[in-house]
Amino acid sequence: MSAGTVLVVDDEPAIHRFMAPALAANGYEALRADTGAQALALVANRQPDVVILDLGLPDMDGKEVIRRLREWSPVPILVLSARDREVEKIEALDLGADDFINKPFGMGELMARLRAALRHRMQDKGETPVLRLGGVEIDIPRHRVLRGGEEIKLTPKEFELVAFLSRHAGKVLTHRHILRAVWGPAHEHDTQYLRVYVGQLRAKLEADPANPTLIITEPGVGYRAGE
């Protein structure tokens, strides 16, 4: 039984060469595209469960592929990017990519992200009244947060923030995205709000605030809610 279909879009044959067997070993069916045009065609015809997309393509900008895909497809997109190109990553995420992974990467890390993306796709089914973030339970209608059955007191903004993050668990959210959603468009550049609130949330929710597992920082890009 296939764990899902994964489309790998990259013009480097070497990447396909090691990805294909690794994906197969993990039970995925791997599709291969070398250009943006091929990728768009394959998504339309084969409807993969996840797309792994390299941003540097010979025929069109990877961001353009995301823009076109997002016009009609909600398929999770995992972007491959160089470590020092935050701007590119943020643009890709703002265009609708779900996650990114820095090149070079280890296979284990890639598989973890793939699983998260697939889970997110399954989970993203409208309003769930109670969300889970690790060992923390977030009860939306009652505005309550429980850890190990014990209620944790949160301020309204802290609650809004943790609720928003958990609703998009597994997905990387850019600072701008979070700030717009929680504080409103007027505050979309006030990243220090986020730092402070994330710090407070970690202190209240994380088992070890120094090594957070629930709210993970993606330096220079944004946050990801762990699972």
Q: Which residues would be at the binding site for other proteins (CB under 8 A)?
A: 83-84, 86-87, 104, 106, 155-158, 175, 183, 187, 190-193, 195-196, 199, 210-211, 217, 219-220
- Cβ 31 vs Cβ 7: under 8 Å: yes
Nearest to 92 by CA among 119, 57, 125, 55: 55
Nearer to other proteins, 31 or 163 (CB): 163
The β-bridge relationship of strands 172-174 and 215-218 is unpaired
Please state the closest distance from residue 161 (CB atom) to other proteins, in A. Answer: 11
Nearer to other proteins, 74 or 220 (CB): 220
- Cβ 9 vs Cβ 36: under 8 Å: yes
The β-bridge relationship of strands 77-82 and 136-139 is unpaired
Please state the closest distance from residue 224 (CB atom) to other proteins, in A. Answer: 14
Please state the closest distance from residue 7 (CB atom) to other proteins, in A. Answer: 26
- Cβ 13 vs Cβ 36: under 8 Å: no
Residue 30: in which H helix or E strand, if any?
A: strand 28-33
Q: How far apart are CA 121 and CA 90, in angstroms?
A: 21
Please state the closest distance from residue 55 (CB atom) to other proteins, in A. Answer: 17
Length of the chain: 227
- Dihedral in degrees, nearest 10, Cα atoms 199, 203, 206, 209: 70
Nearer to other proteins, 45 or 192 (CB): 192
Please state the closest distance from residue 83 (CB atom) to other proteins, in A. Answer: 7
- Cβ 160 vs Cβ 213: under 8 Å: no
Nearer to other proteins, 71 or 208 (CB): 208
Nearer to other proteins, 14 or 210 (CB): 210
Nearest to 223 by CA among 174, 170, 156: 174
Nearer to other proteins, 126 or 156 (CB): 156
Please state the closest distance from residue 193 (CB atom) to other proteins, in A. Answer: 5
